[in-house]
Amino acid sequence: MLNKIKALQEKYKTEGEAFLFTNQKETFYLSGAEFDGFWIFACRQTIYVVCSKMTQNQMKEFFAGQNAEIIAGAPFSAQTAKAAKDNAVKRIITDAKYISAADFIVLQKKLAANNIELCAKTGVLDNLRIVKTSEEIANLRKACEIVSQVCQTVKEEIKAGMTELDVCYRVLELFAQNKVKESFTPIVAAGENSANPHHASSNRKIRENDIIMMDIGCVYKGYCSDLTRTYFLGKINTKFREIWDIVKESQSAVLKAIKAGLPVSWADKTARNVIDAAGYKDNFIHTTGHGVGIEIHEMPLLAYNAEGVFLSSTAVTVEPGIYLAGEFGVRIEDTILITENGCEILTSAPYK
């Protein structure tokens, strides 16, 4: 935790001398604590864990040896404001994405009484979270291994007469057997429903000669996987084969050339160029991918206008798609790890 805080302090050294983290995703990233219900307030000299008296013993045990001081008592805003005053803090940075409006307003008022500024920024931890450590990569690999196995098992079990929800519940059952939770509600879309990228699984029955799109992911030790496959049950029709081949070609164009140092925007442009050339420009209606880590959607966003370059040890998805309203859609998605010379594809479920 201390090393991450120091890196953050170095990045923001001219903007503020203290940081407040109130959300479980932030506190997990910094400390590894999978439980919720505490804040981390980091000053130049001291890191405070702000918690309730009910959980202070748990906090003392978990944070032993992490150079953190436990402050127990409610409300958290009052405890944080006092610590800020005691440390002569002048400016505190927090993340606008995570702190609640209520907490921000209350804390801002308490701090203002002592001429302390509370500054809300967006993406405070993003730059640190983009590049994964070896431990994070190991957890991502395991999450991707599990979701790939689950996808393959479910693919082999799907048959006509099952509903989208039947398949969805089977995915969740297999996750539970692997002692992991879903990273998002599974998307199972059959036939015409697959033309909706984020379809809510329903009681629509799967038919013979039908399309089934599955977008699923799980969480292993706090780290997410993300995988989409589009399968055909029965005799594959010509139009589906054509669209599927275009989408796979689009994805492959990115996977075979992506590497550290390339502009992030390159990925979206490369995937989109293949689909545009095939005549389906207006049917690719989302970005090509996104970062993955402790949240299912992280930076970088693989968009046409994205800024910056890919960094080694960054995990992202590559997921082009074509959607034909009223007919069907095809999306193929893998979670990958960017390396200096290419990428490692972390998900491995069969494509067909």
State the pTM of this model. Answer: 0.94
Mean pLDDT of the chain: 97
Per domain, the residue ranges of the chain are 2-129, 131-345
**pLDDT at residue 15, rounded to an integer:** 81
What Å distances lie between residue 30 and 46, 135, 258, CA to CA? 15, 13, 29
- At residue 297, does pLDDT exceed 90? yes
Long-range CB contacts for residues 324-329, cutoff 8 Å, separation at least 24: 324/195, 324/243, 324/283, 325/195, 326/192, 326/195, 327/192, 327/195, 327/239, 328/191, 328/192, 328/194, 328/195, 328/211, 328/240, 328/243, 329/189, 329/194, 329/195, 329/196, 329/197, 329/213, 329/230
**For 229-257, how does the pLDDT look when each residue is reduced to its tens digit (9 = 90+)?**
999 999 999 999 999 999 999 999 999 99
Higher pLDDT, 212 or 16: 212
- At residue 295, does pLDDT exceed 90? yes
* Three-class secondary structure of residue 158 per DSSP: coil
- At residue 11, does pLDDT exceed 90? no
Q: Would you place residue 56 in the very low, low, confident or very high pLDDT band (cuts 50, 70, 90)?
A: very high
Lowest mean pLDDT among 44-58, 212-226, 252-266: 44-58
**pLDDT at residue 7, rounded to an integer:** 87
| CATH homologous superfamily, domain 2-129 | Creatinase/prolidase N-terminal domain (3.40.350.10)
Q: In the predicted model, what is the mean pLDDT of residues 199-223? A: 98
| CATH homologous superfamily, domain 131-345 | Creatinase/methionine aminopeptidase superfamily (3.90.230.10)
- At residue 217, does pLDDT exceed 90? yes
**C-alpha to C-alpha distance for 40 and 55, rounded to whole angstroms:** 14
Please, are residues 332 and 228 in contact by the beta-carbon 8 Å criterion?
yes
- At residue 178, does pLDDT exceed 90? yes
**pLDDT at residue 278, rounded to an integer:** 99
**pLDDT at residue 251, rounded to an integer:** 99
Q: Would you place residue 17 in the very low, low, confident or very high pLDDT band (cuts 50, 70, 90)?
A: confident
Q: Would you place residue 135 in the very low, low, confident or very high pLDDT band (cuts 50, 70, 90)?
A: very high
**pLDDT at residue 3, rounded to an integer:** 85
- At residue 202, does pLDDT exceed 90? yes
**pLDDT at residue 13, rounded to an integer:** 79
- At residue 142, does pLDDT exceed 90? yes
**pLDDT at residue 21, rounded to an integer:** 98
- At residue 10, does pLDDT exceed 90? no
